[in-house]
Amino acid sequence: MKKALLIILMLTLSFSGKTESGYRLWLRYDPIPNRQLVTSYNNSISGITLSGTSGTISVAKEELINGLQGMLGRKVVATTAVINNSIVAGTPTSSNIISSLALQQQLATAGNEGFVIVTTKSNGKNIIAIAANNDVGVMYGIFHFLRLLQTQQSIKALNIASAPKIKLRVLNHWDNLNRHVERGYAGASIWDWHKLPGYIDQRYIDYARANASIGINGTVLTNVNANALVLTKQYLEKVAALAKVFRPYGIKVYLTARFSAPIEIGKLKTADPLDPQVQQWWKDKVNEIYTYVPDFGGFLVKANSEGQPGPQNYNRNHADGANTLADAVAPHGGIVMWRAFVYSNETPEDRFKQAYNEFKPLDGKFKKNVLIQVKNGPIDFQPREPFSPLFGAMPQTPLMMEFQVTQEYLGQGTNLVYEAPMFKEVLDADTYQKGKGSTVAKVIDGTLHDYSTSGLAGVANIGSDINWTGHLFGQSNWYALGRLAWDHTLTSEQIADEWLKQTFNTNPSFINTAKRIMLGSHEALVNYMTPLGLHHIMGTGHHYGPAPWVSNVGRADWNPVYYHKADEKGIGFDRTNKGSNALAQYAPEVQKQFEDVNTCPEPYLLWFHHVAWDHKMKSGRTLWEELCHKYYSGVDSVRSMQKAWETVKPMVDKERFEHVKMLLAVQEKEAVWWRNACLLYFQTHSKMPIPGGYEQPNQTLEYYKSLSFPFAPGNG
């Protein structure tokens, strides 16, 4: 009996709110260990006064109380009367105190979602004011204030004004109705459709809290490879239950629309977007959706790509298709996010060029409530891609960014890869579309072309694993996406610093070491997978592991050999005017930067040039020698990450330390696998030896070719 009780107690403790499994993400409100700082905080915070009666104010108040009580280790009193050293939060409409403060100018720039936090006085009393024009801004301000305490910053003289640079900040879930997650590496879908709408998992609430804390204001619940059933009454009732949970947190629900839904669930004979019956069907369906979800955000659509139906099935174009849906949601204030990820096996053009070729001619032909969602690069979320040439090329059509947070091509669930440097590399890239300084970030935030709306989306890496993302450090990529969508001027280092301090601790030795691991992790992965501009050389279907030798997949552009084009002369895809001329899709300044093999930035060299094996690189090494150097340095970097993580063992709880340690060991083996397999294969073309001094591959190329992974996670 005692043994049984002990087991029950252990199970209870392991799943309690205080477990260090990673479930609490960056919203850990544990007591601040610095007692001097706690005293300073306590002297500045005697109570709180929140004005407003909305559900948003209610959840914001609960978050503030729980956060303060957890970090300060004492009861926090909510009062209606302002006392000295109060936190006063509200809008000028809901709070007389807020309206009496001289914040009009700051609030004018805050917009609908921004906030102002100031240390000031009211009627002779010291207060910290958290002000906004709307309740959702008050909530965002409260989360920001809690972040200040979590990261142990001073709150004595606050003067903060913050507003999101991008309006639509969205997570795209590639979750299917059977709970399988396409390209998911953290278990099953968190949406338990079978139990909805009656059972509301606490996880849904914590999901909403986490997103709100980083400013994400939209979620697409379903896979872009869509199932029309989600638009039926049975599922709309379930969607409505989730929308009700998310609404107080400022999060709108979006759905993926299968273009053939009028046929599949509407029993029509066609889905032609210009057919009046089809147009009416969509209007009726949208009206029905809004009876279930009054603040429904709209649709995300993948059409005429990878087998998905679309307007081209009826000899119509993407504008025809998008506009039909846009007309249906427009009366309700909804939007359509139409993906530009299109390519055709029947088109002989370089796949790099196809999205631009299809969408550029349609600039200005989309309805005002349509955004074209463009992947960060022109191929498909590769470890490193040049920015898509569509950015800046459609001045009359709002373009929104699509990043991939889930690590389909970044080692999947076993590799520690901090993606913020990759996101920033694209956001900071200069399109030169309106002269120097025309960055991708300025395109998508609307300032370059004065777009009426703006958006940034990320393909979610969230699943049913207790730590949400499979790999604990995958949480940092979810966090980074939200923070960059709010403010793309933040640096990768700033975001890593915030996340580490909130997720682990504020020990300077730990922070410096862990941050160093994070900031070097993306470059390390690029080096041991696809250095010098190599791309799309992963395994077939599941995309797990290296397979640069594959040449037998049905579509030409699904074969790695299509992309690297290795032969006895050299390696790389010629996209200059002597090759596919994809470079012509960029502004002249960008073309000039990339068109010469001798001036092209080496990280993108093999994206744009077929380069001789003996070509002299900037290091003085030949291309072959440089390729070897990169692959080996990538493995060395992972081994350095392992050693660095060992040094933080005394500073991290055992559960999370061991989790990361074991996965780093897996990552090291996979890095060696990538290095050996790729170099052995490319060696069959270069006919050159791996330079002396490097550890030689311990398996043959045939061994690596023989590996099979029929049940790798995340496959379609």
3-state secondary structure of 452: coil
With beta carbons less than 8 A apart as the criterion, state whether 89 and 141 touch. Answer: yes
458 forms bridges with which residues in the sheet?
171, 403
For residues 99 and 656, give the distance between their C-alpha atoms in angstroms, rounded to a whole number. Answer: 46
Helix axes 135-150, 55-72, angle to 10 degrees: 10
3-state secondary structure of 583: helix
272 is catalytic: no
* Separation in Å, CA 27 to CA 207, 228, 657: 11, 36, 19
3-state helix, strand, coil in the chain (%, to 5): 45, 10, 45
With beta carbons less than 8 A apart as the criterion, state whether 408 and 359 touch. Answer: no
Token pair 């989730």 is found at 242
User: What's the token pair of residue 181?
Assistant: 């997650």
With beta carbons less than 8 A apart as the criterion, state whether 363 and 398 touch. Answer: no
Amino acid at residue number 407: Q
| Candidate list 62, 201, 275, 306, residue with the active-site label | 306
For residues 529 and 564, give the distance between their C-alpha atoms in angstroms, rounded to a whole number. Answer: 13
Which of 160, 184, 285, 167 has the alpha carbon at shortest distance from 228? 285
| Candidate list 135, 408, 498, 574, residue with the active-site label | 408
Helix axes 475-486, 492-503, angle to 10 degrees: 130
User: What's the token pair of residue 642?
Assistant: 């392992």
Residues composing the chain: 716
For residues 375 and 396, give the distance between their C-alpha atoms in angstroms, rounded to a whole number. Answer: 18
> What are phi and psi for residue 512, nearest 5 degrees?
-65, -40
For residues 119 and 127, give the distance between their C-alpha atoms in angstroms, rounded to a whole number. Answer: 6
306 is catalytic: yes
With beta carbons less than 8 A apart as the criterion, state whether 431 and 443 touch. Answer: yes
* Separation in Å, CA 571 to CA 62, 388, 564, 625: 58, 22, 6, 13
**CA torsion, ordered 683, 688, 694, 698, to nearest 10 deg:** 40
For residues 611 and 652, give the distance between their C-alpha atoms in angstroms, rounded to a whole number. Answer: 46
**Measured distance between the N- and C-terminal CA atoms of the chain, rounded to whole angstroms:** 47
For residues 97 and 84, give the distance between their C-alpha atoms in angstroms, rounded to a whole number. Answer: 13
| C-alpha Rg value of the chain to the nearest Å | 26
**CA torsion, ordered 661, 665, 668, 669, to nearest 10 deg:** -160
Helices (H), 157-309: 202-213, 233-246, 261-264, 276-292
670 is catalytic: no
Token pair 């590769």 is found at 382
User: What's the token pair of residue 165?
Assistant: 């640079």
For residues 404 and 460, give the distance between their C-alpha atoms in angstroms, rounded to a whole number. Answer: 7
For residues 635 and 629, give the distance between their C-alpha atoms in angstroms, rounded to a whole number. Answer: 10
Which residues contact residue 130 at a Cβ distance below 8 angstroms, ignoring those fewer than 6 apart? 87, 88, 89, 90, 115, 116, 117, 138, 141, 142, 145
User: What's the token pair of residue 465?
Assistant: 């694993």
Helix axes 202-213, 475-486, angle to 10 degrees: 50
Q: What is the DSSP letter of 615?
A: P
**695 CB-contact burial (10 Å; exposed 0-12 / middle 13-18 / buried 19+):** exposed
For residues 271 and 282, give the distance between their C-alpha atoms in angstroms, rounded to a whole number. Answer: 10
218 forms bridges with which residues in the sheet?
170, 252
| Candidate list 380, 636, 655, 668, residue with the active-site label | 380
With beta carbons less than 8 A apart as the criterion, state whether 31 and 42 touch. Answer: no
Q: Which residues are catalytic?
A: 306, 380, 408
